[in-house]
Amino acid sequence: MRIETDFLVVGSGMAGLWFAYRISNHGRVLVLTKKDDSESNTNYAQGGIAAALGSDDSPQQHLEDTVKAGYGLCDPQAVQVMVGEGPRLVRELQKLEIEFSTEGGHLELGIEGGHTRHRVAHVADTTGQAVEWGLINAVRSAPNVALYEHHFVIDLLTDESGRCCGVLSFDRESGKFAEIHAKVVMLATGGLCRVYEHTTNPPIATGDGVAMAWRAGAKVADLEFIQFHPTSLFGARIDGRAFLISEAVRGEGGILRTPDGERFMPRYHPDAELAPRSVVARAIYNELRTRRLDYVLLDLSSIPPAHILKRFPMIADTCKRFGLDITREPVPVVPAAHYSVGGVKTDLWGRTSIPCLYTAGECAHTGVHGANRLASNSLLEALVFADRAAQAASKEEARLPSLDKINPFERQLRSIEDPSLLNSLVSSLKQTMWRFAGIVRSAKEMERGRARLAELSRELKALYPARIFSPGIKQLRNTLIVGDLILRSALARKESRGLHYVEEFPDTLPEASHTVLSPKD
Ligand SMILES: Cc1cc2nc3c(=O)[nH]c(=O)nc-3n(C[C@H](O)[C@H](O)[C@H](O)COP(=O)(O)OP(=O)(O)OC[C@H]3O[C@@H](n4cnc5c(N)ncnc54)[C@H](O)[C@@H]3O)c2cc1C
């Protein structure tokens, strides 16, 4: 099957939907998404979206906080763009009938670790869901936009000049492959933390965009920086996902304690519970390891129960389902892989190193987060850079490709059902990444991790040659590529900085530099 469109968007989270919404006046838009339309990291965001909206705040202050949290690696121009354009775009989001929480007629702005002002706009503790549905409604009612669910994008199509001119995808409902040709492709496939055994991310977050872009020849940057969220609910899984206890809970007064009651964060950082996430996650990791604990406790006793229920209704409700009343009991928590700072390298307009291929959101690397993302800056980054990408893409003068010029790779695929044999390979991959590319790393162990991934790739290839396709097999191939890119990037960084801590190189070098990998090197 062949389909033609002007703008092809892969992914229906914040970045993909905002891009589709904005570009819809400039031509036909097709959004492809591999599960239901709302299934995305965006849908699970709790804390909110950061922007300098308060009367005591300014983009300059937001910039300073972001740069401080980024350990010398933020791209100042990119941060300037994000904090400068953010407030206007958040106000535009409000117009989409997304009902942000208010207080006395004004936005109720939360505070989270590393922010020196109240600047996190939120919809109670289900911001992501509200934003996701607001955007889906906007896109579904926009002229020119079609959204196809359950379309798994397999690979990018490039022409003989190397320009991206579409994708090869698989319609899970009809069981048919489709070649979709477009003038511009926007890759908005989100995160990759499902490569880890413990993660807050839903099953869609398998790094497909990074793997596809890599196969097509794009550069990737800073993939060693994985943010481990300090507080996910111990012993609870939903769809394989660790349930997140938002940082906003610490923002409202939650205190971290060991099970015997000691408040330990002041020993690690002057900002205690509101220290940067990398510091809090490593502190918890250290307490767990040295005291042989299974979890630490998040004590909410200083927050009035009525406020807990008003500000965190979903968290309270979900914990209750796991038998925990958070208005009366402390919450047992452990860290989990949460966010990928690195991704496909872009400029300030979402352009990648491949002509006509744009990217935004969690699968992109804009440089705004440096070596550590500040809480609630990722929805903002997705919004701002998807918006800029739409402005730039609307000016592309590309024409639809002629069919014979398209690289015909993978046209001979044969599809099968996801084999159950895959589960053990997927588990091995996740355990390998958790063990060898986790919160505290060692160069020697990371080499072992790479060798183990190479072994798993060989096993997969022996079981299923390249022309055999199922979404599960392809996702595993993608996660193996992404896992290896994380380890390669981590090995290339001979220092510890922000989210990346390696035992052999505990110090931070005076000069900060990005880790850029290219498939052509
Ligand atoms: C539990 C949780 C809480 C969070 N809380 C916050 C918060 O409070 N504030 C904040 O700023 N950030 C938060 N984040 C991070 C933030 O939600 C994400 O970084 C952001 O939503 C990413 O948006 P995105 O559009 O890039 O990707 P996503 O929202 O993940 O969307 C990716 C889309 O791509 C689709 N896709 C992927 N691969 C394919 C493929 N091969 N073919 C077709 N479609 C594909 C997916 O199905 C999905 O629709 C949180 C993340 C999690 C997991």
318-372: pLDDT as tens digits: 999 999 999 999 999 999 999 999 999 999 999 999 999 999 999 999 999 999 9
Ligand 1 nearest atom to the CA of residue 41, by list position: 30
Question: What's residue 121's pLDDT?
Answer: 96
Q: Which of 109, 112, 168, 379 to mutate to test the pocket of ligand 1 (most atoms within 8 A of CB)?
A: 379
What is the pLDDT, as a whole number, of residue 400? 72
Instruction: Give the pLDDT score at 409.
Output: 52
Q: Which residue's alpha carbon is at the smallest distance from atom 1 of ligand 1?
A: 44
CATH of region 229-336: 3.90.700.10
CA distance 48 to 109: 9
Give the atom of ligand 1 at the shortest distance from the alpha carbon of 202: 53
How many A from CA of 277 to the centre of ligand 1?
19
Q: Ligand 1 atom 44: the closest Cα is on which residue?
A: 33
Pocket test for ligand 1, best of 19, 42, 476 (most atoms within 8 A of CB): 42
**Distance from Cα 363 to the centre of ligand 1, integer Å:** 9
Q: Residue 461, Cβ neighbours under 10 Å: how many?
A: 12
CA 367 / ligand 1 centre spacing (Å): 18
What is the Å distance from ligand 1's center to 12 Cα? 9
Closest residue to atom 21 of ligand 1, CA basis: 42
pLDDT reported for residue 289:
94
Tokens matching residue 350: 């979402």
Which numbered atom of ligand 1 lies nearest the CA of 46?
8
Q: Would the CATH topology of 2-224+341-403 be identical to that of 229-336?
A: no
Q: Ligand 1: which of 18, 41, 250, 474 to mutate, most ligand atoms within 8 Å of CB?
A: 41
pLDDT at residue number 258: 97
Model confidence pLDDT, tens digit, residues 21-31: 999 999 999 99
Do the bridges between strand 255-257 and strand 151-158 make them parallel or antiparallel, or are there none, so unpaired? unpaired
Domain 414-511 CATH assignment equals 1.20.58.100: yes
Residues whose beta carbon lies within 6 Å of some atom of ligand 1: 10-16, 32-35, 39-42, 44-49, 127-128, 152-153, 188-191, 200-201, 204, 208, 244, 339, 361-362, 376-379, 382
CA of 362 to the centre of ligand 1 (A): 7
CB atoms within 10 A of CB 445: 16
Instruction: Give me ligand 1 centre to Cα 405, in Å.
Output: 33
- CATH fold group of domain 2-224+341-403: FAD/NAD(P)-binding domain (3.50.50)
Which residues are catalytically annotated? 277
Question: What's the pLDDT score for residue 277?
Answer: 87
The alpha carbon of 248 and the centre of ligand 1 are apart by a number of angstroms equal to 19
For ligand 1, atom 5, the nearest C-alpha belongs to 45
Amino acid at 137: N
Output the pLDDT for position 160. Answer: 86
Closest-CA residue, ligand 1 atom 8, reads 47
Q: How far is the CA of 49 from the centre of ligand 1 (A)?
A: 13
Residues of the chain with pLDDT under 50: none
Nearest 5°: the CA angle 237, 189, 145 is 120
Number of the ligand 1 atom closest to the C-alpha atom of 193: 53
Helices (H) and strands (E) counted in the chain, each on its own, are 13, 23
Alpha carbon nearest to ligand 1 atom 41, residue: 153
Q: Which atom of ligand 1 is nearest to the CA of 11?
A: 34
Residue whose CA lies nearest to ligand 1 atom number 37: 189
**Buried b vs exposed e over 203-236: b needs ≥16 C-beta within 10 Å?**
ebbbbbbbbbbbbbbbbbbbbbbbbbbbbbbbeb
Atom of ligand 1 nearest to the CA of 16: 25
CA of 191 to the centre of ligand 1 (A): 6
Q: ipTM value, please give it.
A: 0.99
Locate all alpha helices (DSSP H) within 193-321, ordered by sequence: 208-216, 247-251, 277-290, 305-311, 313-321
**Are the C-beta atoms of 219 and 518 separated by less than 8 Å?**
yes
The predicted pLDDT at position 18 comes to: 98
Q: What secondary structure letter does DSSP report for 441?
A: B
Q: Where are the domains of the chain?
A: 2-224+341-403, 229-336, 414-511
Mutate which of 378, 380, 475 for ligand 1 pocket (most atoms within 8 A of beta carbon): 378
DSSP class of residue 329 equals: S
How far CA 500 is from CA of 164, 221, 225, 277, 279, in Å, comes to 33, 14, 6, 12, 11
